[in-house]
Structure 1
């Protein structure tokens, strides 16, 4: 990647799914001449899941890694969130109430939560033009300067964990 950057083939380089340990090792490596501009990681309100291909065991974790977000901020590495909508708990009644209180959709609240956690959004719409138009509208509404979640709303959303048999854990 560093060669591609120095050759002018790209304007920036980045990594994906690196935590603090990975980033520290990368930055300390004698072969690292350029730090990554971005660290793209899965991030969602409802938690993340890692499924081991060897064992098939799935581990559910929080939807955000505060330590890695802080490390990236300190080292001027952009933390980019992907897969935000896969963990947006559309079923959650209080999320719906928060969205209505702000005149936004649940998706926009999930996007806003991501931004307020210190990440930028990597969004995608697939190949469906109708879905693309709807998603783009939600994406843009997230940047409304009058739309900010309160500390109480953020704390509530931070506390949502993956659904298990219909019970919020």
Structure 2
């Protein structure tokens, strides 16, 4: 079984450096793919309230742990997220309670993220206060953000009642979208970087640079891009519902790209970068809307 390294968060907890993402994974598929992923060695599963599969994912983890008593609950890292329609103190408290109820089979949630910054100062602030309280309760171990740009992080860090810094910012990252300034800022603040769409949703499978490296290393398109993400210090979240791709994606942890090859990927022309189709990091703050 592949040994995937862990990264120490600013909270003191550790997070496995590769996750299975379950975005757009149907409810009737989520449980089985999560079970197979855990069998394959995954110890980090990334869900969200907006994915509508929290219950199935958490139940699958809980059932798997019962069948595998040699693996402790603390070895599995489960993430969920609060969507922007649930921003605000009261709404977020309710959403966290709902997510915890769905995660009853595993006892607690390792990481809750603010899914996007799309609301306003008061709502984002209230959401963060509610998440801090969830950490204080012990039912949520870590909190962070997703799709936050530098200005959104700066706003959060300026909250007068800030007690818990975000542990991570989950953003779209791959050689065609490197978000260099944002990544640099996050690292300076001690905030780890999670990379969603690390495979660019397979939109660049014919890229000649990646193809050259596939031949050199004898690896797949996905493995080269996941290896690049790991080499950059990111936590990639490759999504798949195809069981045959689970282990190869995880085996990317064993690939050591040379510095020259990392630079080749770094230097790929940045055309049409957003595989997700949007740039949430530029969502305006309140004073920018006036």
Scaled by the length of structure 2, the TM-score of the pair is: 0.45
| Matched position secondary structure for 2:187 | helix
CA displacement 1:117-160 (0-9 Å, x = unmatched):
2211123223xxxx1x232122222110xx22223322222223
- Per mean C-alpha deviation after superposition, the further-off stretch among 6-15 and 153-162 is 153-162
CA distance in 1 between partners of 2:190 and 2:244 (Å): 32
Q: Which residue of 2 aligns with 1:16?
A: 146
SS in 2 for 1:79: strand
Q: Is residue 174 of structure 2 the alignment partner of residue 44 of structure 1?
A: yes
Partner of 1:162: 271
- 2:245 counterpart of 1:135: yes
* Distance apart, 1:91 and its partner CA: 0.4
Distance 1:20 1:28 in 2: 12
**Structure 1: which 4+ aligned runs deviate by more than 3 Å?**
none
Over alpha carbons, which structure has the higher Rg?
A: 2
Equivalent residue number for residue 148 of structure 1: 256
Instruction: Give how far 1:7 is off.
Output: 1.3
Query: Unaligned stretches of 5+ in structure 1?
Result: 47-62, 164-169
Instruction: Structure 2: give runs of 5+ residues left out of the alignment.
Output: 1-130, 273-290
Aligned to 2:279: none
SS of equivalent residue, structure 2 residue 212 = helix
- In the other structure, the counterpart of 1:104 is 219
Superimposed CA distance per residue, residues 58-82 of structure 1 (whole angstroms, 9 cap, x where no aligned partner):
xxxxx11122222222222111001
Query: Pick from 161, 173, 180: which aligns with 1:31?
Result: 161
- Tell whether the 8 Å contact from 1:44 to 1:87 is kept in structure 2 after alignment: no
Are residues 1:6 and 2:116 paired? Answer: no
Q: 1:160 to 1:151 in 2, by over 3 A?
A: farther
User: 1:59: which partner in 2?
Assistant: none
Distance of aligned partners of 1:162 and 1:135 in 2 relative to their CA distance in 1, 3 Å threshold: farther
Q: Secondary structure at the match of 2:140?
A: coil
SS in 1 for 2:194: strand
The separation in 1 between residues aligned to 2:252 and 2:269, in whole angstroms, is: 20
Equivalent residue in structure 1 for 2:239, among 110, 124, 134 = 124
TM-score (norm: length of structure 1): 0.74
Number of corresponding residues: 140
Q: Work out the CA distance in 2 between the residues paired with 1:71 and 1:134.
A: 37
- Secondary structure of 2:184's partner? helix
2-side partners of 1:91 and 1:122: how far apart?
Answer: 21
Give the drift of 1:87.
5.1
